[in-house]
Copies of this chain bind each other. A is one copy, B any other.
């Protein structure tokens, strides 16, 4: 049975699941979640899709999983890919996935939303500035980790890479410029060079162009 990923193109959290699905060779299809129409905030969505009221959600027969990091682990279970070559690497990958959820995607996803998808008169300037300060520290940590390395952990692409890159390919301004971070820039090019790589707006349904 084809797995279904509930997702939408603007969501870097959904991209963190869609990208390894796409690269894994597993059989899947995208189901568009109408986030901007309020679908994830409905009682029906919480009751039937995800009690956390979020995307992405992966449905595989009777199995239903939310949280991109948990979906990544499931893709690894099914494909045998992207979790490093031993328990030590697997633990390192988990550290970076958790760090990303807390310090990187957890903050730059929100900041991009506030700066681009809220009406201009509703954008909280102090919150945006505060988050951008935190993000400088996060980008600095990631850039330092990538020095002399092609991938965050080990010798090939893993869930750590797919997690941390979640929001970094998007064109909307949110205080991140690849040119400022040479190691991150080189690593993002490595990801883009993977066979089958697609940009989030090409991999999942929905983009700002649809609402323009």
Contact = CB atoms under 8 A, between A and B. Distances in A.
Nearest to A77: B87
Contacts of A70: 91, 94-95, 98
A95 B65 contact: yes
A26 interface: no
Interface in A132-182: 137, 141, 144-145
A14 to B, nearest CB: 14
A100 B88 CA distance: 24
Contact of A127 (B53, B68, B130): B130
Contacts of A73: 91, 94
Nearest to A97: B98
Nearest to A73: B94
A68 B52 CA distance: 21
Nearest to A93: B70
B91 A65 contact: yes
Given A70-B95, A95-B67, A101-B98, A52 B127 contact: no
A69 interface: yes
Nearest to A88: B63
A68 B99 CA distance: 10
Contact of A102 (B46, B102, B124, B126): B102
A192 B70 CA distance: 28
Interface string A91-114: 100110111011101100000000
Interface of A: 46, 51-53, 63, 65-70, 73-74, 88, 91, 94-95, 97-99, 101-103, 105-106, 124-127, 130, 137, 141, 144-145
